Structure 1
Amino acid sequence: MLKIDSHQHFWIYDPVKDAWITDDMSVIQRDFLPDNLAPLLQYNHISGCVAIQADQSDKESDFLLGLAKDSHIIRGVVGWVDFQADDIESRLEHYSRFPKLKGFRHVLQAEPDVRFMLGAKFMHGISLLKKYDFTYDILIKPQHLQAAAEFVAAFPEQRFVIDHLAKPLIKDGLIDEWQEGIGRLAKFPNVYCKVSGFVTEADWHSWQAADFIPYFDIVFNSFGLKRVMFGSDWPVNVLAGGYNRALKVLTDYTAKFTETEQAQFWGQNAMDFYRL
């Protein structure tokens, strides 16, 4: 079975650039590069990965493309671009020259305004993605779900994927509002969902596999097996048990599905969505 990790990060740690890695996350205040990930992929029989931006700068996109050029494990890159820039189209045209640049992401969850994504200039930038066959990763929290539904409704032909299940409040056991929002987004056939990042939304030190089942059930039932994909969120998942523990949770959960369905979740959907 072809397996693709659709969501992980690389960085050369810098305390200023990476200020989001706070002191309680000191275990990941260091460099993480393809040579660090390769043994984990090999151990788990994963063929390759999609490297996702972790810093909002043009330098980040160039950094990831540089890594991808020299590393066979990186099948695709999701970079960053300023969607509100006056020269946004020329920037997208520039990045269209790099075959491994598959799409873009903005850290919407960090914007003070939950409706930031609905701003006219941002929406204009997003409207240009389809012209260059780029995807868009939606990084949000439950409070952004209503705005996200309005956002994707405006672009019915754009490929979108929700990162990290939209970060449900697993640690607090809250589900109802998140479930309603996920249901709204799943109605749009051009929206996918990554089953990733869940361990860091639970209690980092005492989570149990059973904590995730209700959330997995909702996502798999809402999106179906053709619009969900595996992502590790390494190395952030090191904070809450690491790559192999998170992977086992998903391996056990998906064991009930047919071989075809498992193949879709573990690799084929990511291949299709990102056109790897």
Structure 2
Amino acid sequence: MIIDAHQHFWQLDRGDYGWLTPELEPLYRDFMPDDLAPHLDRHGIDGTILVQAAPTPAETEFLLEIAQRTPFVLGVVGWTDFSAASAPDDIARLAKHPKLVGLRPMIQDIADDDWMLRPDLAPAFDAMTRHGLTFDALVLPRHLSRMRQLLSRHPNLRTVIDHAAKPEIATGQFDKWANDMSALAKESRAFCKLSGLLTEAGNDWTTADVAPYVAHVLESFGPERLVWGSDWPVLTLAASYGQWIEIAQSLISCDVSRAKIFGPNAVDLYQIPKT
């Protein structure tokens, strides 16, 4: 079983994608299941995890509706307001939906780098743990030290670092990111997503540019805590679906490791029922 553990859908006329502007011309249109299905068929992908792209409850409901009628969507990572007094109840309600597998605050867009450490968010993180949901951490390299603190407070919070924390590959920033990722992997049980790297590598990327970053997360998290995702359609700013899956597979030389990273690990991370 091969799973794409990170993809998006959106419909522009819904109006809540603040980041999605006409300047992002290749992405400024609707992307729906019929657009992705040919790529999944061509590359033998059995299922996907559909991830939120707007910080609104309405978008989460929109994605859950898509998941209900789209067999290849195995789970949805939605959004809710972790800072709301009602957050524990909101999380409990969402957790009842059979396709809701996780939640994702859009931390990269929050001005306060210490936001995740606010005491008033603890009830939301506790509710995530209580209801068995996965916390998708959309963070940047500067957030990694905070992530270590957060996970020390909530050691049982099932967590995945989206896009390997978006290392600054285009400018060759490696050492600080690498050290922080190693420490996070050692000190916590967090997973890491092998996704989003090509869009961080600049317009003239080569496989050699991303290879050290792939090698480092593989070494740090091991083949048991790494999951592959496409980040489609954002991926299309840098490469095709086929290019990314081919590069990722080529950079993981061990067949056993590759088999885990491209499927079973996502089942474990998101607690997808095994059929």
TM-score by length of 2: 0.96
Taking the aligned partners of 1:227 and 1:41, their CA distance within structure 2 comes to 23
Supply the AA of the counterpart residue of 2:164.
L
Structure 2 stretches lacking a partner, 5+ long: none
8 Å CA contact 1:53–1:79 kept in 2: the answer is yes
Residue in structure 2 matched with residue 46 of structure 1 by the alignment: 45
Distance 1:42 1:53, change over 3 A: same
Taking the aligned partners of 1:154 and 1:144, their CA distance within structure 2 comes to 16
8 Å CA contact 1:156–1:188 kept in 2: the answer is no
Taking the aligned partners of 1:53 and 1:216, their CA distance within structure 2 comes to 24
Q: CA deviation at 1:229?
A: 0.4
Structure 1 stretches lacking a partner, 5+ long: none
Q: Secondary structure of 1:129's partner?
A: helix
Residue in structure 2 matched with residue 180 of structure 1 by the alignment: 179
Q: Which moved more, 1:5-14 or 1:120-129?
A: 120-129
Q: Does residue 116 in structure 1 map to residue 120 in structure 2?
A: no
Taking the aligned partners of 1:208 and 1:24, their CA distance within structure 2 comes to 25
- Say what the alpha-carbon RMSD is for the aligned residues: 1.2
Q: How many residues align?
A: 272
Distance 1:15 1:95, change over 3 A: closer
Residue in structure 1 matched with residue 227 of structure 2 by the alignment: 229
Q: Secondary structure of 1:190's partner?
A: coil
Q: CA deviation at 1:158?
A: 1.2
Q: Does residue 253 in structure 1 map to residue 241 in structure 2?
A: no
Residue in structure 2 matched with residue 215 of structure 1 by the alignment: 213
Residue in structure 1 matched with residue 239 of structure 2 by the alignment: 241
Percent identity between the two aligned chains = 36
Residue in structure 1 matched with residue 24 of structure 2 by the alignment: 25
Q: CA deviation at 1:94?
A: 1.1
Taking the aligned partners of 2:62 and 2:178, their CA distance within structure 1 comes to 36
Cα deviations by residue, 1:103-140 (Å, 9 ceiling, x for unpaired): 10001011111111001112221111111111100011
TM-score by length of 1: 0.96
8 Å CA contact 1:80–1:106 kept in 2: the answer is yes
Taking the aligned partners of 2:20 and 2:237, their CA distance within structure 1 comes to 11
Aligned structure 1 segments of 4 or more residues deviating by more than 6 angstroms: none
8 Å CA contact 1:109–1:139 kept in 2: the answer is yes
Taking the aligned partners of 1:36 and 1:224, their CA distance within structure 2 comes to 33
Q: CA deviation at 1:89?
A: 1.8
